[in-house]
A = this chain, B = another copy of it.
Amino acid sequence: MQHENFMREALQLARDNIEAGGRPFGAVLVKDGQVIARAANSIHLDCDPTAHAELLTLRRAASVLGTPRLEGCVIYASGHPCPMCLAAMHLCGVEAAYFAYSNDEGEPFGLSTARVYQQMTLPPQQQTLPLRPLRPAGEEGLYVRWQAHGK
């Protein structure tokens, strides 16, 4: 039930964002049964292509908790998280995530990221965005230098 209430809050953020001229996405991040961060997609306000609701909750929660590690946190997102946001959740240790609207439901409205998910299943060098190695002559030892610096 609490579970559903968190999702209702994410959905209300999405609805409020529509009224404010934004995209229909909201999210809340919860730890130990408490909402730590709330966000709505703010691309329309910030001209920031990464200002997705979920990514913003990660940034705000890290700021509130004072650590970039978010183990034990759960995200409730109005729409299926995109692969950028899902990978970000993996990277900072988020425990689980829930969504109310699927990519299939978003597809007729241009709100699905299934195409990018499909790309992410391929090896990076085989995706439509070519990702290639480029090593200038004489370049070496970057990571050894970092390690020697005491990290």
Copies of this chain in the oligomer: 2
Measured CB to CB, the nearest residue on chain B to A99 is B133
Is residue A38 within 8 Å, beta carbon to beta carbon, of the partner chain? no
CA distance A128 to B149 in the complex (A): 33
Within 8 Å CB of A82, what residues of B? 87, 91
Contacts of A91 in B (CB 8 A): 49, 82, 84, 113, 116
Docked CA distance A135–B104 (Å):
14
Cβ of A48 and Cβ of B63 under 8 Å apart?
A: yes
A residues 1-56 near B (Cβ < 8 Å) are: 3-4, 7-8, 11, 14-15, 18-19, 23-24, 43, 47-50, 55
Counting contact residues on chain A (CB < 8 A from B), the size range is 35 or more
Query: How far is it, in angstroms, between the C-alpha of A80 and the C-alpha of B105 when the chains are bound?
Result: 33
A88 surroundings in chain B (CB, below 8 A): 49-50, 84
Closest Cβ of chain B to A109, distance in Å, is: 4
